[in-house]
């Protein structure tokens, strides 16, 4: 998940960024809840929920 966030923040390719966002949503079971192109919302969600995934 950290890798996907890193790709979304740093990659200059819109295609790579979109794929990373879609995979991030799948990994977080958020596919139906969030828009993959709403990057700020994804970053905010990850900041709040990262600890839930580190433990797994």
pLDDT in tens, 11-39: 999 999 999 999 999 998 898 889 989 99
Interior angle at CA 47, CA 43 and CA 50, nearest 5: 115
* Residue 32 confidence (pLDDT): 85
pTM, to two decimals: 0.84
The per-residue pLDDT for 7 is 96
Calpha distance 53→4 (Å, rounded):
13
Closest CA to 45 of 7, 29, 56: 29
Average confidence (pLDDT) over 44-50 = 93
- Domain boundaries defined on the chain: 2-54
Which pLDDT band, with edges at 50, 70 and 90, does 3 fall under? very high
32 Cβ contact list (under 8 Å, min separation 6): none
């Amino acid at each position: 998940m950290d890798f996907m966030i890193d790709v979304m923040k740093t990659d200059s390719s819109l295609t790579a960024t979109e794929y990373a966002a879609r995979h991030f949503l799948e990994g977080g079971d958020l596919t139906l809840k969030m828009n993959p192109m709403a990057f700020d919302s994804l970053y905010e969600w990850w900041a709040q929920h990262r600890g839930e995934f580190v433990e797994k």
